[in-house]
Structure 1
Amino acid sequence: MNKVYLSLGTNIGDREHNLKYAVHMLQKDKDVKVCDVSSIYETAPVGYTEQASFLNIAVLIETSYSPLEILELCQSVENKLGRIREFRWGPRIIDLDILLYNQENIESENLIVPHPRMFERAFVLVPLMEIAQEPLTSYLQKAKSILSEMDIDQEGINKWKTTNGVEEFVQV
């Protein structure tokens, strides 16, 4: 089974429900096991800042899917929740990004893993490190090191809600 870390974010509508429903949809797939879900973090927008704050989580899944199949699944979940891509870094009902796929380094036309900007974004690293499994892979060690050098208070990241396991989280 492949271990895949995902980042989810939302800033439109019922943000908590959007996250829960997206994880629920992942969990419903017979070839995906949702192993862990981070706490929910409220974060300031990055890039285009004239928009509402985001709620962000990280999720660890195990799957038999290839990286491109996971990408297709993530895009399917986004589409089912009504994701519209108006402009880069704009408001979104849901965003699912593949952060890590095992220890693989993937560069294709449609997918880059590790996510190309994950090491620059505390709103990704904070929830990711909360659920990172030991022993830490080289990418997770890098994430931990970079996060230790960031000023989290300045990054606009606040724990919004603690989660109590996958089963409780996905109750929609």
Structure 2
Amino acid sequence: MPTIPSAQRHRALLAFQSYALPQPARIRLLLAAWVGLVVALSVVWMHASAPSAIARTVAVAVLALVITIVWRMPLWPRGTSLCWTGSQWCLGQGVLASEHRIDLAHLAVLMDGQSWLLLQAQRGPAPRRSQWLLVARASNPERWLDIRRVLYSSLAAEPQDIHPV
């Protein structure tokens, strides 16, 4: 079986790619709907089983904590794009994500739902708190396969196959 040179194997890595992330308001709305469902189920549970005052207090405290976490969840600013420069992943804004670029030291796929990807991104070389990013096909359906190819190729590529651009 003939071997394929690394330059041909990772051709997707050579081009600049930019893919818009979904609007944060939509993500918050989805999470709020999920929390609303949990609240409704909790109210039905409290009404049907008549738990003690302590159980009710704990349930209300947990729901308040979940609502606070969802409300304060750090998401990306509106108009943010995930970019591949040819050698580095970054987050950016503006046309082709050229403004306010933030380099990412590490990017990992946490979940692949085929029409969406949940990514874990770390900024800078020092290990810090990571940020979750949601990349959805609905943001740019005609370029969905391109960003998936570049993402998986960059994660599978050997460091010597990635050349600074």
- TM-score (norm: length of structure 2): 0.23
Larger Rg: 2
Which structure would you say has the larger RCO, counting Cα contacts within 8 Å and 6 or more residues apart? 1
